[in-house]
Structure 1
Amino acid sequence: MTSQRTLVIGDIHSGLRALKDLMIRAKITPDDTLIFLGDYIDAWSDAVETIDYLIRLRDSHNCIFLRGNHDELCYEWLTQGRDNPTWFQHGGKATAESYAKSDAQTKQLHISFYESLENYHLDDNNKLFLHAGFTHLKGIEHEYFTKSFYWDRTLWELALSLNPNLSQNHEHYPQRLVHYEEIFIGHTPVTRMGKTTPQKAANVWNIDTGAAFKGPLTALDVHTKEFWQSDPVHSYYPGEKGRN
């Protein structure tokens, strides 16, 4: 019987070798729908190669690519040519060095890819996917600041701080969380909590398992919650520092 899974994949951070390994371990086929949570670059040395791979993957698989804050920073650098010291310190240096070896045609193709990224995806089962979070109490359609979709950390902080015994019907239950069946995010590595597997708080799933640092890259089956992981991404890039 043909498998038709929906898999959500955490922040890659130029870890192409880990992504290729993960594709094999999860036995991903063109029948699967792949939802990528953003932050495709910044950390390891394969920035250009990672975007090239994702562009090719889009031609053979059903892919949904969301926008991460690092993708937006890289896009601004490619299109405006402005140095961003903060970006350089948080993985951008490796990305800039990768693009220094590419040609103008490749850069233009990648600019088009970054422009095509979506801020969020809401599926037919009322499951929401976005890189970071949102702040409006009434949900994503009412969000004033679209950058929140790929910069906000308060959604995850809110979910973590919530009393697990608090009912959704309680007057103090956060209104942000009641609009969606489940919310899937990246952006804030769960390695900050000492974890390397997907973490759930309230109805929010965090799939960023620290690929930019010492953690693995993860793919999670949205429906069954089975997940697959690469080895720690740094082990595929000996001698590199990543974002450590």
Structure 2
Amino acid sequence: MHSGPVYAIADVHGCDEELRALLQQLPLHRDALVVFLGDYIDRGPNSKGVVDTVLEVMDYCQVVCLLGNHELMLREFLDGSDARRVARFIYNGGGATLASYSNEDGHFTIPPEHLEFYQKLAYYHVEGDYCFVHAGIPVDVSKIDLALHGEDMVWMRRRAGMQEPNFDKIVVHGHTPVPEVEIRPRRINLDTSCVYGHRLTAMEVRTQQMWHVDRRAAPTPLYLRDSRESRREAFRFTGRVPVVVQHEGRVYRFATINYSEIGMLIKPVDNLPSGSLRAGAHVTGLIGTDAESTPFRGVVLRVDEQARHALKIIPEPQKQSTP
């Protein structure tokens, strides 16, 4: 086990101001270890700033940086080979990250040192009696196979009533937002919902001493803006992504022509009876497929003669229970 204090911080989600204030509270020194549990980016106002801050911390103490599901989605977005996963990143707050790296013309550039940071993030870290991970572990540490369990370790969700783990190590994780730190005999959840308006938490795991910083500003949706010459408010991505639309008890299958966080242009996959969806219709649906889908609410803005439907997405209110 590390000889100095071991601090853990989860799910910063772009809240750089709060992270800096929290780090200033901690008695950090060369022998201290800070373990970041992933989800540095997305949704919050300054994802780029968070990574800058984490890199700065490495200059005056020891740091371990773990992978979260949002960094995994960013990797998939940058790879760009799967349109569905590109869309999954955008519809899970990724536009806020791109905006933090963008200029006034809507062009984003991620510095090489940040790209290296995202690529080197580890799935988990063991220190003595503790296993640090973003979301959880499905098996004992000795049985982890990243090819089999990697996705679960960044995506698995704690639900009310779930049986508590009884692994050899105490699991220290984030990912599942809670209003207060959860301390169980074999599990500690440190995601105290900062980006949803609550607070950011650090814990020294052996003493369980905690430090908190409340969210400084009300949550507001951010996304990658289009160029100054465009009339569009948000940058639109192109690609064919499955979309399921539900309206008045009926289900319709579409695919995107282009999309942004605030709207999409879609075309029916099947023959759509004339007048099935008219301008002004309020709809719900799913973007993507199966486990990679993202729910949405929206309103049909217009339908053209080629059956292309323009939808405006209605933002969901920010809630602490949102993943």
Query: TM-score, normalization: structure 1?
Result: 0.78
In the alignment, structure 1 residue 127 sits paired with structure 2 residue 130: yes
Equivalent in the alignment of 2:175: 187
Matches within 5 A, 1:86-105: 86-101=88-103, 104=109
- Counterpart residue identity of residue 186, structure 2: N
- Match of 2:183? 200
Q: What SS class does the counterpart of residue 125 from structure 2 fall into?
A: strand
- Give the TM-score of the pair, scaled to structure 2: 0.60
Q: Say which SS state the counterpart of residue 95 (structure 1) adopts.
A: helix
1:11-160 equivalent positions in 2, closer than 5 A: 11-80=11-80, 84-101=86-103, 104=109, 106-123=110-127, 125-136=128-139, 140-142=143-145, 144-153=148-157, 156-157=158-159
Change (3 A) 1:121 1:61: same
Structure 1 distance, partners of 2:20, 2:63, is 15
How far residue 134 of structure 1 moved from its aligned partner, in angstroms, is 2.4
- Give the partner amino acid of 1:26: L
Cα deviation for residue 33 of structure 1 reads 0.6
Rounded Cα–Cα distance in structure 2 between residues aligned with 1:60 and 1:21: 16
Distance in 2 between the 1:113 and 1:86 partners?
Answer: 21
Instruction: Summarize the Cα distance change of 1:73–1:222 in structure 2 as closer, same or farther, 3 Å threshold.
Output: same
The alignment status of 1:177 with 2:160, answered yes or no, reads no
Contact 1:134 1:140 in 2 (8 A): no
Contact 1:219 1:229 survives alignment (8 Å):
yes
Instruction: Say whether the 8 Å CA contact 2:197–2:218 is kept in structure 1.
Output: no
Judged with a 3 Å threshold, the aligned counterparts in structure 2 of structure 1 residues 78 and 58 are, in CA distance, closer, same or farther, namely: farther
Q: Distance in 2 between matches of 1:128 and 1:77?
A: 28
The DSSP-based 3-state class of the residue aligned with 1:209 is: coil
Shift of 1:138: 7.2
Greater CA drift, 26-35 or 209-218: 26-35
- Confirm or deny: 8 A CA contact 2:7 2:205 kept in the other structure: yes
Gaps of 5+ in 1: 163-173
* CA RMSD of superposed structures (Å): 2.6
How far apart, CA to CA, are the structure 2 residues paired with 1:48 and 1:85? 20
Structure with greater helix share of residues: 1
Q: Which has the larger radius of gyration?
A: 2
Query: Paired residue for 2:199, among 216, 219, 229?
Result: 216
| Paired residue type of 1:189 | P
1:93, distance to aligned residue in structure 2 (A): 1.6
CA contact (8 A) 1:75 1:111 kept: no
Q: 1:188 to 1:121 in 2, by over 3 A?
A: same
CA-to-aligned-CA distance 1:192-237 (integer Å, 9 cap, x gap): xxx2x21123411000000121211100011110100111x2x2x4
Counterparts in 2 of 1:32 and 1:138: CA distance versus 1, 3 Å: closer
Name the structure 1 match of 2:220. Answer: 240
Is there any run of 5+ residues in structure 2 with no aligned partner, and where?
223-316, 319-323
Greater RCO, 1 or 2 (C-alpha within 8 Å, sep 6+): 1
Matched to 1:16, the amino acid is D
Counterpart AA for 1:23: L
Does the 8 Å CA contact 1:10/1:207 hold for their aligned counterparts? yes
Q: Distance in 2 between matches of 1:138 and 1:39?
A: 21
Checking the alignment, whether the CA contact within 8 Å between 2:6 and 2:35 is kept in structure 1 is yes
Cα distance in 1 for residues equivalent to 2:143 and 2:49: 32
